[in-house]
Amino acid sequence: DAKTTQPNSMESNEEEPVHLPCNHSTISGTDYIHWYRQLPSQGPEYVIHGLTSNVNNRMASLAIAEDRKSSTLILHRATLRDAAVYYCILRDGNTDKLIFGTGTRLQVFP
Amino acid sequence: NAGVMQNPRHLVRRRGQEARLRCSPMKGHSHVYWYRQLPEEGLKFMVYLQKENIIDESGMPKERFSAEFPKEGPSILRIQQVVRGDSAAYFCASSPRTAGSNQPQHFGDGTRLSIL
């Protein structure tokens, strides 16, 4: 399984943009980049995913480097509710399971 | 739209007892996944089931653990003769069809199992 590397923790102030990085230098051509987040005492929640092009949805944006060896999850205006652990996960078309790392714990300050 | 429902939310068992964790997938979803999360760690995949079939149980301990997803009713994760090391949060997820790279998994809020 391809591995991802994320910072253990990050901090942000409310209403500021947040850029959460993820390195995946061993990514293969068929791997999709998925992001989930886990709020305290809850199950993980799907955020966004992409293959090569940048992606936007109502929750966040995903910026993927041209060589695909890194990506960045962008929260445009952090709120207190965005405080969570964010997981960057690589999935290929041959597997159904999600391989979680330790993620990035995002703290948001008022 | 009801999400993935897990019950109980909290379960306390004594060593040697059996634990049964239930998971009702989202309506229309026929694929179920179980994950385990130890304190301060990420989730670890255990088993993937479709109706009446185990597709991938590569993450399931070989002894004491079993899972089923019958034609009718919820998926059940069963742990026999529990030990202290089984204390963890157990999460269930579902997806609508064969999960490929484009299908997100929808998670329940987990069952927190505590072994006395």
The DSSP result for A76-101, as a single string, is: SS--GGG-EEEEEEEE-TT--S----
Question: What are the distances in angstroms from CA A7 to CA A20, A41, A104?
Answer: 8, 21, 6
pLDDT at B98 over 80: no
Q: Is the pLDDT assigned to residue B28 strictly greater than 90? A: no
Q: Quick check: B7 contacting A, CB < 8 Å?
A: no
Question: Is B93's CB within 8 Å of A32's CB?
Answer: no
What pLDDT, on the 0 to 100 scale, is given for residue A108? 97
Q: Give the tens place of pLDDT for each residue, A76-94.
A: 999 999 999 999 999 876 6
> What integer pLDDT is reported at residue A1 of this predicted model?
56
Q: How far apart are CA A15 and CA A2, in angstroms?
A: 34
Q: What percent of chain A has pLDDT over 70?
A: 96
Instruction: Report the pLDDT value the prediction gives residue B87, as an integer from 0 to 100.
Output: 96
> Could you identify the residue written with the tokens 């949805």?
A57
What are the tokens at A106?
Answer: 């995002």
Q: Which of B80, B74, B79, B73 is nearest to B92 (CA)?
A: B74
Structure tokens at B84: 């202290």
B39-73: pLDDT as tens digits: 888 899 999 999 899 999 999 999 999 999 999 99
B102 interfaces chain A, CB cutoff of 8 Å: yes
**A87/B42 Cβ within 8 A:** yes
Q: Give me the torsion for CA of A14, A44, A51, B60, rounded to 10°.
A: 150
Q: Name the 3-class secondary structure at A103.
A: coil
Instruction: Name chain A contacts of B44, Cβ cutoff 8 Å.
Output: 100
Q: Which residues of A touch B93 (CB under 8 A)?
A: 43-44, 98
Segment B85-94 mean pLDDT: 96
Average pLDDT, chain B: 92
Partner residue opposite A91 with nearest CB, options B48, B98, B101: B101
Name beta bridge partners: A72: A21, A63
Q: Which of residues 47-66 of B touch A (CB under 8 A)?
A: 48, 55-56, 58-59
Euclidean distance between CA atoms A92 and B100, whole angstroms: 7
What is the C-alpha separation between A29 and A26, in angstroms, rounded? 10
What integer is the mean pLDDT of B67-94? Answer: 96
Whether B55 and A44 lie within 8 Å, measured CB to CB = no
Q: Which pLDDT score is estimated for A96?
A: 77
Please tell me the distance in Å from A9's CA to the nearest CA on chain B. Answer: 13
* Res. A37: pLDDT tops 90: yes
What percentage of chain B reaches a pLDDT higher than 70?
95
Look at A8-12, A47-51, B49-53, B97-101 and tell me which has the smallest mean pLDDT.
B97-101
Residue B100 reports pLDDT greater than 80 = no
Mean pLDDT of B84-97: 93
B25 part of contact set with chain A, CB < 8 Å:
no
CA dihedral B26, B48, A94, B61 (to 10 degrees): 150
What pLDDT, on a 0 to 100 scale, did the predictor assign at position B40?
80
Residue A102 has a pLDDT of 87
pLDDT at A50 over 70: yes
Separation between Cα atoms, residue B55 and residue B46, nearest integer Å: 11
Distance from CA of B107 to the nearest CA of A (A): 6
Residue B40 makes CB contacts below 8 A (sequence gap 6+) with none
Residue B71: strand, helix, or coil: coil
